[in-house]
Amino acid sequence: MTLATVELSKSFGGVAALDAATVTFRPGQVNALIGPNGSGKTTFFNCVTGMIRPDSGRVAYQGKDITGTAPHRIARAGMGRTFQLCRVFGRMTALDNVLVAARSGSLVERLRSPRSRDHVERARGWLARMGIDHLEHAEAGAMSWGQQKLLELAGVLMSDPETVLLDEPAGGVNPALIDRIADLVRELNAEGKTFVIVEHNMDLVMSLSDHIVVFDRGRPIAEGPPSVIRSDERVLGAYLGV
Amino acid sequence: MRSDSEQLPSGQLGRLLRVGAVGVGAALLLSFPAMAPNPYYLSAGIVVLSYAVLATSWNFVGGLTGYISLGHGALAGLGGYGTALLVTKAGLPSFVALFGAALLVALLAIPLGFAALRVRGASFVIVSIALVLILLLVFQSWASLTGGSRGLVVLRPFPGLLRPEHHRVFFFLYAALLAAALIAWWLIDRSRFGLGLKAIREDEDKAEALGTPTLSYKLIVFVVSAAFTGLGGGLYALWFGDLDPVFQFSILTGAYMVLMALLGGVRHLFGPLLGALIVGVGLEYFKVEYGSTPLHLVGSGLLLGVVVMFMPDGVIPAVSHAVRRLRGAADSSIREVTAAELAEQRRPAEPEEARR
């Protein structure tokens, strides 16, 4: 049930975004991935979820090597993600946005209506859990930023992931909504989902996470519980430049 | 839930109206051969119908996935030449050759799509144009097989029929093919597969991240699109009976498909058909009035510009939007709902949650 990388490297035009990053996340916990801008966090997410093929190194998930596996297979293996700049299907309704993530097996099943009773029920359930079920017929592109963030999360959860990667869930979101998102993460974690969260809001990171990995220049420089990370000199150095 | 119960009656009425409109449209279409004053009108009607078939076939890819292919003319040309060659060289019966050629086009679409659908946006458009140009050169140069620029004559499938009768039969054949393409598009549009395709149109990476096998989805719908396009091209070969690479592998064919589909509205089942009616009738009119001048090209170019600038979603959404505004119905965009209204809407739901 673990997500781990070994010596993961990726360069863009000679600049190393990831530099032999070896990381192991804790299953069943809320993991945070922090670090200064440009330290490779989003590239790390993209490599782990198959969106980008790493130059070298391996990604393992649930004991299997998933390096170079197509993103949709990784998603179906139980790893869901949100994007840094929240991405929803702007010209679909909120309900359809969530229904896209429903699993279908055979080709025949894929020719059935997406609005089958059990799929719609589950999709509505996730929208209700996010508190945006009153907007199910609304076009996603017309929703507010915060609502879109919640909608994106509802979609990811509809795909029934065991591990959820959140890229800046609190980015550009008002404080009340940050609390709501934090509560949701705690609840879902209590229900058994593993989280890996990239976030710049340190109050949120410190209050939410069980285990923190700190990135600098494409590799982890420290890891541990919040209490340890808060006082780690290397972390302070990386953030404050002292 | 309240909004549901409000929508239901108007939804049923709307469905009834739509079914009625489709019925009337089909009846008008099928009565056209009986009403056409002379065989010329009938043949023009066939040309317009063949455009409708091609534009609807194009819309499997263009409308559902958002990939704009200018290369579909090549698939129609391959369907045409495939049918013609299977008749003349392999001696197959006309309609066996037609379906055989469409099958071959569909098979060829697998490697073509596999290569082309890996690039997006403008790159895909350019790759699709390259396909047309390459095939034009091949079919022009390989004269021993294709007849080259001298043309390739195909025997008519019904040698005993007089010209007007021949037109009449092909009008109905094209109508049947159009119906098949429309039904297939409708079935895909309302399926889970179709929802995945539309997710690709909106944001391909996001769709993939949610577990949609995007490449397979695009490839499958491209093959379906190619098969219908090949059938459209093959039927043209059987009807017209004379093929020339310059016309079969023309950038114009693909460009017309794009124009027609965009004009009518790519998100709508009948969008490409409507676009084909408008553009097809316009093209025939220009050809009659101005002969072989390039005025029809200028006209369609201008029309494409106008569509892209003022009606990016096509005529159908533009008209239905205008109708809705005229009616003054509350077009409930989210931004217009006030916080107080939202609170009001949410209130009835809360006691239920509490009970749970």
Mutate to test the interface with A, among B6, B188, B192, B356 (most CBs of A within 10 A): B192
Mutate to test the interface with B, among A46, A53, A72 (most CBs of B within 10 A): A72
Amino acid at site A142: A
| Closest residue to B195, CB basis, from A70, A91, A114 | A114
| Closest residue to B193, CB basis, from A96, A111, A143 | A111
What are A33's strand-pairing partners? A198, A213
Round to whole Å and give the CA distance between A136 and A126.
Answer: 11
Tell whether B213 lies on the interface with A, counting CB pairs under 8 A.
yes
Round to whole Å and give the CA distance between B57 and B72.
Answer: 9
Q: What is the tally of structural domains in chain A?
A: 2
Inter-chain residue contact A112 with B209, CB threshold 8 Å: no
Residues A165 and A189 in one domain: yes
Weakest-pLDDT range from A221-225, A235-239, B199-203, B319-323: A235-239
Residues A168 and A233 in one domain: yes
Round to whole Å and give the CA distance between B17 and A241.
Answer: 69
pLDDT at B346: 58
pLDDT at B333: 46
Per the domain annotation, does A96 fall within a domain? yes
pLDDT for residue A219 is more than 60: yes
Q: Which two tokens stand for residue B171?
A: 């009008």
B333: nearest CA in chain A?
A142
* B74: region left, alpha or beta (phi > 0 left; psi from -120 to 50 alpha): alpha
Residues A6 and A103 in one domain: no
Residues A172 and A133 in one domain: no
Per the domain annotation, does A85 fall within a domain? no
Residues A237 and A174 in one domain: yes
Identify whether the C-beta of residue B275 lies closer than 8 Å to the C-beta of residue B112: no
Inter-chain residue contact A109 with B192, CB threshold 8 Å: yes
Round to whole Å and give the CA distance between B231 and B54.
Answer: 9
Domain that holds residue A207: 1-78+161-242
Q: Which of A111, A143, A160 is the last residue of a domain?
A: A160
| Closest residue to A142, CB basis, from B191, B207, B333 | B333
Domain ranges of chain B: 40-329
CATH number at residue A238: 3.40.50.300
Per the domain annotation, does A8 fall within a domain? yes
Strands of A27-150 (E only): list them: 30-34, 56-61, 64-65, 79-81
Please tell me what DSSP assigns to residue A87.
-
Provide CB contacts within 8 A for B271, sequence distance 6+: B59, B63, B261, B263, B264, B265, B314, B315, B316
ipTM value of the model?
0.92
CB contacts, 8 Å: A76 with chain B: 211
Averaged over A101-106, what is the pLDDT? 86
Residues A137 and A237 in one domain: no
Residues A226 and A165 in one domain: yes
Residues A215 and A183 in one domain: yes
pLDDT tens track for B49-97:
999 999 999 999 999 999 999 999 999 999 999 999 999 999 999 999 9
Confidence of residue A152 (pLDDT cuts 50, 70, 90): very high
Averaged over A222-238, what is the pLDDT? 87
Amino acid at site B54: L
Residues A156 and A206 in one domain: no
Residue with tokens 């996340």: A25
